[in-house]
Structure formats: C-alpha cells, structure tokens
Amino acid sequence: MEMIAGDVHAHGYGWAGVWSAVASLIFLWSMVQQYLPAQLEEYLTALTRRLQAAITPYVTISIDEHVPDSFGRSEAYLAAEAYLSATCASGARRLRADLAADSDRMSVAVDDHEEVVDEFRGAKLWWRKTKTLPRGNVISWSAHEEERRTYCLTFHQRHRGLVDALYLPHVLAEGRAATVRNRQRRLFTNNPSSDWSGYDARVWSHVKLEHPSTFATLGMDPDKKRDIIDDLEMFRDGKDYYASVGKAWKRGYLLFGPPGTGKSTMIAAMAKYLDYDVYDLELTSVKNNTELRRLFIETKGKSIIVVEDIDCSIDLTGKRKKKKKKSSKKKSKSGDKRKKVPPAPGGGKDEENKVTLSGLLNFIDGLWSACGGERIIVFTTNHKEKLDPALIRRGRMDVHIEMSYCCFESFKVLAKNYLHVADHELFHEIQQLLGEVNMTPADVAENLMPKSKKKDVDTSLARLVKALKEAKEEALAKALAGAEEKEETEDDDEEDDTSSSEEEENGKNKKLYLPAKWEE
C-alpha cells in the first residue's frame, strides 16, 4: 500500500510538472509573439498547419466575422451563429446573451473559445468559436480590427463532399430562417431624396412594427380569410415553383373597398402571419421614376411593399394628354418674326420630374422587380374603377380582395373578439339588420367595444342594434329624398319637352320672309 501511495504521489507530481511546463510554454510564446516579425509569425503558423494536416485526417473550415475591406459583419458568420444558437447551443457550457437592435428579446449565442458538436446525415462535426486579440503595437482604425472572432468547423476528410454540397447550404438556410424568426419586424417609410447623400445617408427610416392585428382578430368571412391565408402560404413556400415557371418570386395584392373596411388591418395581419417587414411607400414624396427604382432596390426580401390610396397618390388613370400642335410661325405686317417668349424656370421639367404610370408598371413587374425575391406588393384604394386596367391586371395585382361592409359572419368574429360571446338572443335581429344596412367593420367594432370596465354584453349588443336601426332610417330617408328629386327632375324634363314642341309648331306656322330679289 505504501508503494502504491508513493507511485500515485509521484505520478501526481509528474502531471503537475507537465501542466507547469505547458503553462510556461504558453506564457513564453505570448511574450515572444509580441516581438516576432509579422512575416515570420505567418510562416510559423503556416508550417504548423501543414504539419497538422500531414498527421491528422480532419479538415477545418474557418468563417470570419468580418469580410476584408468591409465594415459590416459577414452574412455567413451571422448565419452560422444563428444556426448554432437554434440547434447546438443546448450542448454548450458557456453562452453569451445579447439584445439585438430593435428587438425585445435576448439572443443567446455560443461564447468565445467554446466548442459544440453537431450531427448531419451520419457525419459528426465540431464547431469552435475562437477570438484573436490584436498585437499591443498595432493601431486599429476600426472596431472590428481590435479583435477577430471566427467560427471553425472541423470534420473528417471523408465527409468533405457532404459538407460542401449539403451541410453548408443547410447551415445557411436554417441560420437565415432562425434570424427571421428572432428579428423584430419593422415598419419602413421612405426618406426625401435630400437625405440620400452624406455620411448618414439612408433611403428608408424604420420603427418597430407593433400592430397587434392578426387573422384571428380580423373581422372577415372565415372562408374568405382561409383562402387568403392559403395563398400567402403558397407564396412563402413557393421559391422553387416560381423558379421552375420562370417568374420572379413576388406577388401583388389589390385591396379595395370603402373606408373603414380593414384594408390597413389586413396588411398588418399579413405581415405578422408571414413575419415580414413592411415598406410604406409614399409616392407623393418620390420625384421621378429613377428615385422609385432606387427605393425598390434598397428594400430587402421577406417584405411587403405598400402603396395606400394609390388612386390619390399620383395620376394613374392612364389617359394620355393630347399633345398640342405647334402653331405656325406668324409674321407681323412689317415682315419681322414675333419674339419667342422664354419658358418659365423649371417649367419644361415638370413632365420629367414625376412618377409616371410607365415607371410604376416597371416597378411592379419590370426587370428591376426581379432583383432579390420574396416580396409582396400591396395597393389599396377606395375606388377600384379609377385605376388603369394595365395597373391591376393579373400578373401585376395577382389577387383582388374586396374589403366589403360587415356581414353576419364578420360580426360573429368581432363579437367573439370584443365580447367573448358566440351566441346571443339579439344575434338574429342583428343578422337581419346587417342584411339590410351597409355598416363597416370599424363602425360595428366601435359599437361592440365596452364603455366601462364591466363587459356588459347586453348593453353592447343593444347599442349595435340601435345604431343599425338608425342607419337603416337614414338610408330610407336618403332613398326617399333621392326618389322625390328624381321625380321633380323628370317633371322638369317633361315641361321642357312640351315647351320645345310648342316652339317647333309655332316655327312651322310662321312665314319665312325673304328679300324681293330672292323671291323671284
């Protein structure tokens, strides 16, 4: 026993000596590294890697945080970080939490010098995050030069083809999807072109998109709502299909109907369901077609581009103004040509400095519309008949959605949302009144909304019934007034016809007196 204890004691001293020697070497190397020339250090690093490759069957792929000659972070690095956070972070002992910009939730990522293991189709892969500090005598001009972070992917060389062909694209796709799931949706608006230059140049400004609308709370016929959701899902998952038929991955929706029927609410519900950003394009602040094209290029995928009240934004009736013929040059009696009046300053540029129907059509489905992908374009209007047919044809506005007055099915959705009631004795009367009166979902919702903290269902429904009856009486009064006005107009027309016929008869009886020379 004493011999065994002595061996263990000696063995412990041996390991302690090894670790002490390793620590001394690391410290010595860190001291020597500061005085080594950069070229010699690179040569020793390359030599070490060649020796390691000669004795090990494993391959390592590095993904740097920053791309050379760029101030932004590498998209590949961000995708790898998001992928590991979503799939492999549970196996890490050390994690790093961060609050992303414009986000309300913490994102968790693998910490520096931490290793995690992943498996893909039978292959085992190791991910390690490293951080390299700069030398003490190096002056850095940017933040990312102060320290370099890298994700190192290590795997056996027999899996090289699998990693190149399938695993890396899988990491990129899943990382992008995880980024979209974790991001804060944003609402963009276009800046005036005067802000497009300078140090802090930005074409779009954004805020958090915090609209609470969902398809569940949207007052609409459930069957119609289901059709819209199915169409959105087909678009979201149809990248390969769009490529196979040779179409750009975009889709147009035209929302039309009276004010207060929920067009803006529909857009918010679409954005929330798809987890897309919204670009609210204000056409009246866009000077010409070139600026419109620039705005489109600056948008990103997974977004909804909205032009609200498009019939009021610019002249889109499609009617071409007839060109006035130039008058011939007239000469004065003296034979001298009249002096030409110079045009008003900037007057000749009025037709050039504006967005035209042609420019908007190219914006929707021209060659520039194929830049990027996964974009939805939404137009809203209160008067569909005012729009040019070329603007809303299929292929540009693929889906036409009529946002109509509230029907009984829509009312039941609103009653469930506002009052948490699915049936009531007043429902039958409300159904009958909604069939006779046009009332928008916004007006119905306002009458259903409780006026006190106590949700009195009977009072809210009775208020709605009263409002519907009043709207019915107003509609009948307008109809009667219109009928009376029409009768008066018809009576006036009959009197005018009678007087005109009498004048014609009197004209026939009158004798036409001609000069004497003409009578011969």
- Lowest-pLDDT choice from 66-75, 311-320, 459-468: 311-320
Residue 3: count of CB within 10 angstroms of its CB: 7
pLDDT digits (tens, 9 = 90+) for 476-512: 888 888 777 777 776 666 666 555 555 555 554 444 4
- Of 15-19, 101-105, 386-390, where does the model show the most confidence? 386-390
How large is the average pLDDT for residues 345-365? 66
Is 150 a residue whose pLDDT tops 70?
yes
Nearest to 391 by CA among 400, 403, 402: 400
How large is the average pLDDT for residues 94-120? 76
What's the pLDDT score for residue 335? 47
Q: Residue 317: CB partners within 8 Å, gap ≥ 6?
A: 386, 387, 388
Q: HSE-up of 305 (CA within 13 Å, CB side)?
A: 27
Is 63 a residue whose pLDDT tops 50?
yes
- Residue % of the chain over a pLDDT of 70: 69
Alpha-carbon distance of 426 to 412, in angstroms, equals 12
- Of 70-74, 147-151, 318-322, 323-327, where does the model show the most confidence? 147-151
What's the pLDDT score for residue 325? 43
- Specify the DSSP element, H or E, that contains 235: helix 222-236
How large is the average pLDDT for residues 243-249? 88
- Lowest-pLDDT choice from 173-182, 268-277, 359-368: 359-368
- Of 196-200, 273-277, 496-500, where does the model show the most confidence? 273-277
Domains of the chain plus CATH, in order, are 2-184 (no CATH), 187-402 (3.40.50.300), 408-519 (no CATH)
Token digits of residue 333: 């009696």
What's the pLDDT score for residue 184? 80
Residue 445: count of CB within 10 angstroms of its CB: 21
Q: Which residue has the higher pLDDT, 186 or 317?
A: 186
Eight-state DSSP code of residue 394:
T
How large is the average pLDDT for residues 274-303? 89
What's the pLDDT score for residue 356? 82
CA distances from 149 to 102, 131, 171, 267, 356 (A): 24, 4, 18, 40, 49
Which pTM value belongs to this model? 0.67
What's the pLDDT score for residue 4? 40
Token digits of residue 468: 């519907």
Q: Which residue has the higher pLDDT, 103 or 221?
A: 221
Token digits of residue 316: 């889109």
- Of 23-27, 220-224, 483-487, where does the model show the most confidence? 220-224
**Whole-number average pLDDT of the chain:** 77
What's the pLDDT score for residue 230? 95
Name the pLDDT band for 272 (thresholds 50, 70, 90). Answer: very high
- Lowest-pLDDT choice from 24-33, 447-456, 458-467: 24-33
What's the pLDDT score for residue 40? 67
How large is the average pLDDT for residues 204-226? 89
pLDDT digits (tens, 9 = 90+) for 326-354: 444 444 444 444 444 444 444 444 445 58
Q: Which residue has the higher pLDDT, 176 or 97?
A: 176
Is 254 a residue whose pLDDT tops 90?
yes
How large is the average pLDDT for residues 454-461? 85
Alpha-carbon distance of 237 to 214, in angstroms, equals 20
Is 200 a residue whose pLDDT tops 80?
no
